[in-house]
Amino acid sequence: MATSIHPAAIVEAGAQLGADCEIQAGAVITRHCVLGDRVVVHPFSVVGGDPQYLKFDRATASGVRIGAGTVIREHVTINRSIHAGEATVIGENCFLMAASHVAHDCAIGSHVVLANNAMLAGHVSVGDHTFVGGGAGIHQFCRIGESVMVAGLARITKDVAHFVMVAERDEVIGFNGVGLKRRGFPRPAIMELKAAFQDIFFTPGNIRTVAASALAAGRFTSAEARRFLEFFAGGKRGFARARRAAVNETDDGV
């Protein structure tokens, strides 16, 4: 199957399309875009549009990169970076449902699903295999980890660690064990992750300190558990917390 561009689609000069892409009627691919192989863009989506940033200079040479196999449904908007030489990045085999929005300078991993009307503000990062529910809004500069489930209509203003489920306003509501089983995580790793989850979210105190102590003590040895704990060493926005944790909201180490 060769790359196809349907009637009334706009692909600006300078855009780069991989093999076997399909650009459907009414879609817009600006000159700032690089699309991998087998990318499908449905009607009336705009990929590579200018960022919604009041100080942006339209002469800035920035872009958007879309990974192979990603599907972009109707009315999706993906804005280019505000920085010269930089790009908003969508990974491979993602599924961006109708009317979802990815703002400038986001970094989206592979196998990520954004449901209808999901909204990502600027500089958001999303890990592989994460699902963002319909109508959810994510504040700028937030980090959303790997294999996270974000509930529909959630309001996320803090970082969300790997392997958890989050809902409402920054409320961690559980461990995403089902998602990890579907990905084929080994049972010992899942059991260790559950224990690390309990330590982090149900131990009073500074969450960064709790995570650092667990790492230093060597209590968790699997690569998955250590990756979970290492998440808490980064970021600047504080962390989504479990709704039952007896922890002061300001005690995030921020």
Catalytic residue among 26, 91, 105, 133: 105
What would the DSSP string read from start to end of 32-92? TEEE-TT-EE-TT-EEEEPPS-TT--TT---EEEE-TT-EE-TT-EEEPPSSTT-EEEE-T
Q: Is 63 a catalytic residue?
A: no
* Catalytic residue from among 42, 104, 123, 162: 104
Residue 105 annotated among the catalytic residues of the structure: yes
Hey, what are 223's tokens?
Answer: 């690569």
Q: Are 87 and 108 in contact (CB under 8 A)?
A: no
Catalytic residue from among 122, 127, 235, 238: 122
75 counts as catalytic: no
157: left (phi over 0), alpha (psi -120 to 50) or beta: alpha
Task: Please tell me the distance from the alpha carbon of residue 80 to that of residue 83, in angstroms, as a whole number.
Answer: 9
Contact 36, 70 (CB under 8 A): yes
* Secondary structure class of 116 (helix, strand, coil): coil
Residue tagged 């926005």 (tokens): 237
Active-site residue list: 104-105, 122
